[in-house]
Amino acid sequence: MSGSHGRHVRRREPLYRGPTALLVNTAGTSLLGMAFWVLAARRYSPDVVGGSSAVISVMLLLANLAELNLTSAMVRFLPTAGHRRNAFIIRSYATVACLGALIGAASLPLLRHLTVVHRLLALGPGGALWFAVAVGVWCLFALQDAVAIALRGSRWVAAENSAYGVMKLGALVALAATAPKLGIFASWTIPMMLTIPAMNVIIFGSLLPAQQQIGGLTETVSRRHLREFVTFEYFTGLVGVAASTAIQLLVLTRLGATDNAYFYVVWVTTSAFDLALLNVGSSLVAEAARQPDRLASLTRALSRHLVKLLAPIMAILIIGAPLFLRILGAEYSSHSTALLRLLALAIAPRIVITLWMSINRVHRRVGRILALQATLAAVTVGASAIALNVRHSITVIGVIYLIGQTVAAIGVLPSLLSHTRPHATHAGRMVPRAGGDPVGPLP
C-alpha cells in the first residue's frame, strides 16, 4: 500500500474521523466558551459571574448523579446491541430525564443559599420547575451525545455542540439588559433545551437506520454484568464531577466570587478538552466493541493521532495564554495566565489516562477506573483545601492538578503499553459473537 493510499484509508477510518471531528469541535466550542465568558465578564458583574458559575457547577453535579453514567454503558454496549438498540436508548432517556428532574427538585431546599437558586425560587413554582427541568434536560443532552458517538455520528455531536455554543452567546447578549441577575443561567439552560429535539431527529432518523443496515456483531451480556458495569461507571463519573465541583466551591468559599470568576473561566474552558478526550476514548471503545481483535492496533493508531492533533493546541494555549485572557480584561490576564498554562500542560498526561481507561472499559475492568478516579479526586481536593489555606491563589490548584495527573499517567503507562504491543492479547470477560442475544434494556 502506498503512503498516499494509506493516508486516504486512515482518513476514512471511523476511529480517525470521529476523534478529529470531536477535537476540532473542542477547539471551536472552547473559543465559543471563551467568548461566552468574555461577554459575561463585560456585561455582568463579577459577583453574578461567580455566583452563576457556582450554580451551573452544582447543576452539572446533580445531572451526573441522575445520569447514572449511562453514557459509558451506551458507548460500550449500543454498538453490539442488535435490534434492541431503539428500546435501549428510549428506556435510558426516560430513566435519566425523570430521575434528573426529581433530583433537581429535591435539591432546591438545600441550595437556597446560592444566589441564583434564591432568585429562581423568588419567581415562584415556575422558577423551581425551571431548575428541575434543566437538570433533567442536561442528562438527556449528555446521553444523546454518547448515543451519537456509539452510532458513529461524532460529526453530529460536533455540529450540535457548536450550535449550542452559538445559541448561548446570542441568549447571553439578549438577556443582559432584561435579566441581569439570571441571564447567564438562562442563556446556559434554554438553548440546551432547544437542541435536543433536533439531535434526536438525526439519531432516530439517520444514525440508527444506518447502523441497522450495517449489522455486525452482537454480544451476550447478562443483566448482572450490565449492572456491575453501570454501577462502577456511575460512581466513577460521580467522583469526577464531585471533585471538580468541590474544587470550584473551595475557590468560591476561600477566595470569594471574584476570584472564582477568574478561576472558573479557565477551568471550564480547559475542561472542554477533558470532555473531548473522554469522547475520543468513547470512539475507541465503540470501535473496539465492534472489532475486539483490533484493540491494540486501534489504540496505537489513536495515540499517534491524538499527539499530532493536541500537541499544537497545547503549545498555542501555553504561549498565547496571556493574550487570550487579555480579551476578558487585564484582571483575568493577570490572575489566570499561570493557571491556564498549567491546565494546558495537564492535557498530555490526560491522553495517557484516557487511553488506559478506554482499554479497561472495552475489557469491562471498570473497577480499576473507579479506583484511579477516586484516588485522584481525594488527592486533588484534599491538597487543594490545604494549599488554599497557605496560599490564597488559584494558581496552586493548577500545580496540584498537573502533578496529580502526571503521577497517575506514569503509574498506568506500563499497563497501557502492555495492551498496545503488536499481537498483544488480553481476554476480556465478555466475548462478542455473531448472532448472539443482544444486550437487553437496562434493568
Report residue 354's pLDDT band, with 50, 70 and 90 as the boundaries. Answer: very high
Read off the pLDDT of residues 200-238 as tens digits, 9 standing for 90 and up: 999 999 998 887 766 555 666 667 778 888 889 888 887
Structure-derived torsion over alpha carbons of residues 262, 263, 264, 270, reported in degrees to the nearest 10: 120
Structure confidence by residue, pLDDT tens digits, 173-184: 999 888 888 889
At 3 the pLDDT is 46
* End-to-end Cα separation, the chain, in angstroms: 48
For the chain, what percent of residues have pLDDT higher than 70?
87
Per-residue pLDDT, 438: 41
C-alpha–C-alpha distance, residues 273 and 37, integer Å: 17
Domain chopping of the chain, boundaries: 14-420
pLDDT in tens, 278-313: 878 888 888 888 888 888 888 888 888 888 888 888
Question: What is the C-alpha radius of gyration for the chain, rounded to an integer number of angstroms?
Answer: 21
Is 50 exceeded by the pLDDT of residue 121? yes
Distance in angstroms (rounded) separating the CA atoms of residues 217 and 212: 11
Burial of 27 (0-12, 13-18, 19+ CB in 10 A): middle
Give the per-residue pLDDT at 101: 95
Grid look-up 449500543 returns 78
* Res. 5: pLDDT tops 70: no
pLDDT averaged over every residue in the chain: 83
What number is the average pLDDT over the span 59-65? 84
- For 137-150, the pLDDT digits (tens) are 999 998 999 899 88
**Residue 424 pLDDT greater than 90, yes or no:** no
Report the pLDDT value the prediction gives residue 380, as an integer from 0 to 100.
94
* pLDDT for the residue numbered 217: 55
Separation in Å, CA 86 to CA 69, 147, 291, 365: 19, 11, 22, 26
CA-CA distance, 271 to 263, in Å (whole number)?
Answer: 12
pLDDT of the residue at 370: 94
Report the candidate in 318, 321, 299 with the shortest Cα–Cα distance to residue 310.
318
Q: Does 329 have pLDDT greater than 90?
A: no
Give pLDDT, residue 72.
85
